[in-house]
Structure 1
Amino acid sequence: MAFTESCAGGFSPGFASRLTLRGGHRAFVKAVDAQLWPVEASHYRAEIEVAGRLPKGLPVPWLLNTHDDGRWVILFFEHVDGVAPGQPWTAAQIRRVVAQAVAFAQATTPSPIELPRDHPRLGGWTGIALDPSSIARLHTVSTWASRHLERLTAIEQQGLHAAQGDSLVHCDRYPHNVLLSGDRVIFVDWPHARLGAPVTDLIALLTGVAADGIDPEPYLHAALPALNCPPPSFDTILAAHTGFLMAGALAPMPTALQAITEEKLRLATAATRWLRHRLGNPR
């Protein structure tokens, strides 16, 4: 190894760095201490299982090597010289990323790898409705969601059903997991991948756009037919996705992971606003 460069950003408590190796070759490495962060280490191990099976040709970083000694979980990827989108967003940039998301979905339906069909990153209104402390916190975040909690709980149940499918779904495709590299759009970080309806990833992506203050609707209409998703199904999956974000934003979190809670609240606020608009702005 000749040179290391720490990578800023991200929400994991782990280590991330770009490595320049002898001969000029570059790699990206991330690592986490499994004793200090067992949940995060399980995510790293899940990513090893997924990334190691993704076929070449997909717009994802190639997994070069791994190490897991029970204490440290380390992943080595090919280096992608890119930047996250939305700094700030342009209309052309959004169209480009959405187009790649649609193309990826079409290329990975059916999924080229076997994955679970559960959706742990969808749904949350039901759990909020069962917890008085969460209900109280919700009222301070969104009085609209608090008033319509029973309806949102019913809609998200439909969304959990509508989100089923046979596509390879990233399940965490927010803009911080997207890289723009030249004329390529690369999707990174794969620990949460599942089989499902690909519109789930588009919802996450456009929620990030909405959280940056941009109306996502103009970028949605052309994509829904390409993803074979009728608007009513989209709305139910959006409700389930919003519930997941809101539940995460309201849940207690260790101080070291507070940035995750803050980001989920930012995304949940935008997703709730978007969902309310699509449901006809009920009071």
Structure 2
Amino acid sequence: MRPQWTELPEAVKRAVEALVGGGGRVDACADGFSPGFAVRVTRADGHRRFVKGIDADAWPHEVDAYRTEARIGAALPPAVPAPRLRGVHDDGHWCVLAFDDVDGRSPGRPWTRLDIHRVVGAIGDLARTATPAPVPLPADHPRLGGWSDLAADPSRVSRLRRYEPEAAADLRRLAGLERQGLGAARGESLVHGDLYPHNILLTGDRVVFVDWPHARRGSPVIDLVTFLSSVAADGLDPEPFLPEDAPETVTAIRPDDVTAILAAHAGFLLAGGLAEPLPGLENITAAKLHLGLGAFRWLRTRL
């Protein structure tokens, strides 16, 4: 669904060239779910930037994420494994962000054991270097919780019953668990909040986390649970990858709290994945359902 470079208004192309310091070869990036454009621009001198942008008039509810990412990206210190933000163009109609390009690859699917261990280690490193959070961030967690909303919607309950009848029959207990999870999610670490495969890049010696609009202040267990839910969605058992040598900020939390945060995360995903998709955002809804079913399968084993 991404617009192609050739489809962009000339004014947007000129803005991109200004952000990267000139024109050059433009290569489209296919990963991700945003309806905005995403390209790598390589100048004649070999210098390269990653550029993303969105039409605020066409996607008024999506552009806020870009503007939030611009604010957070500008504040992230170099120790955080994220690409550096190099420039922003926002004329009220288009919001465009330019970053250092990361010469890496998206994780292979399904996950491999080596890649899983690398990412778990990077989450631990982030917890060590970003506790307390080095940037001011909200402490709420809008991407956790959803069982109560789901239970109040008969159409979503009916859809859930087709996929996971056990969950549909146990909504009261799941809603109680997610309330515990919201409490357990409190903390003072920098949390990415969206650590799925499309927001992870692997280089020869680094793991880089991209797309930070959902960053919050909280427990690093949130990122661990989010990431390992994608492992579960690929049909793998996440339990062997729970780190034994994690930083104190991770290991200090009780196993019951890990389960509760997982319940809150599964609730968020399934409440969104079982909702009627918004036009143009159907792939996001489908991805939430896929990840949510994986998270619930993992939750069921922990219960």
Q: Percent identity?
A: 52
1:141 Cα offset (Å)? 2.1
Q: How does 1:46-195 map to 2 (within 5 A)?
A: 46-195=68-217
Match of 1:199 in 2: 221
Counterpart AA for 2:288? K
1:68 Cα offset (Å)? 0.5
Rate the CA distance shift 1:224–1:277 in 2: closer, same or farther, 3 A.
farther
- 3-state DSSP class of the match of 1:52? helix
Kept after mapping to 1: 8 A contact 2:159/2:274: yes
Match of 2:60 in 1: 38
Match of 1:244 in 2: 268
Match of 1:235 in 2: 259
Counterpart AA for 1:117? A
Kept after mapping to 1: 8 A contact 2:116/2:241: yes
1:35 Cα offset (Å)? 0.7
1:257 matched to 2:273? The reply is: no
C-alpha distance in structure 1 between counterparts of 2:46 and 2:180, whole Å: 52
Q: 9-18 or 81-90, which moves further after superposition?
A: 81-90
C-alpha distance in structure 2 between counterparts of 1:225 and 1:57, whole Å: 16
- 3-state DSSP class of the match of 2:52? strand
Q: How does 1:8-27 map to 2 (within 5 A)?
A: 8-27=30-49
Partner deviation per Cα, 1:166-220 (whole Å, 9 max, x = no partner) = 1100110112110001111000000011101010001111111111111110001
Partner deviation per Cα, 1:200-248 (whole Å, 9 max, x = no partner) = 0011111111111111100014266641222011000000000000001
Kept after mapping to 1: 8 A contact 2:262/2:299: yes
1:85 Cα offset (Å)? 1.2
1:252 Cα offset (Å)? 1.4
Partner deviation per Cα, 1:130-167 (whole Å, 9 max, x = no partner) = 22222222212210100110100001001001101111
TM-score of the pair, normalised by structure 1: 0.96
1:250 Cα offset (Å)? 1.1
C-alpha distance in structure 1 between counterparts of 2:119 and 2:177, whole Å: 28
C-alpha distance in structure 2 between counterparts of 1:100 and 1:27, whole Å: 24
TM-score of the pair, normalised by structure 2: 0.90
C-alpha distance in structure 1 between counterparts of 2:78 and 2:247, whole Å: 27
Q: Which runs of 4+ in 1 moved over 3 A?
A: 223-226
C-alpha distance in structure 2 between counterparts of 1:223 and 1:241, whole Å: 24
- 3-state DSSP class of the match of 2:281? helix
Kept after mapping to 1: 8 A contact 2:83/2:100: yes
Kept after mapping to 2: 8 A contact 1:50/1:190: yes
Count of aligned residue pairs for this structure pair: 279
Kept after mapping to 2: 8 A contact 1:199/1:224: no
Counterpart AA for 1:141? Y
Match of 1:5 in 2: 27
- 3-state DSSP class of the match of 1:165? coil
Q: 261-270 or 87-96, which moves further after superposition?
A: 87-96
C-alpha distance in structure 1 between counterparts of 2:221 and 2:205, whole Å: 23
C-alpha distance in structure 2 between counterparts of 1:16 and 1:223, whole Å: 37
Rate the CA distance shift 1:252–1:196 in 2: closer, same or farther, 3 A.
same
C-alpha distance in structure 2 between counterparts of 1:154 and 1:52, whole Å: 38
C-alpha distance in structure 1 between counterparts of 2:96 and 2:204, whole Å: 27
Q: 80-89 or 246-255, which moves further after superposition?
A: 80-89
Kept after mapping to 1: 8 A contact 2:120/2:243: no
RMSD of Structure 2 on Structure 1 (CA):
1.2
Match of 2:11 in 1: none
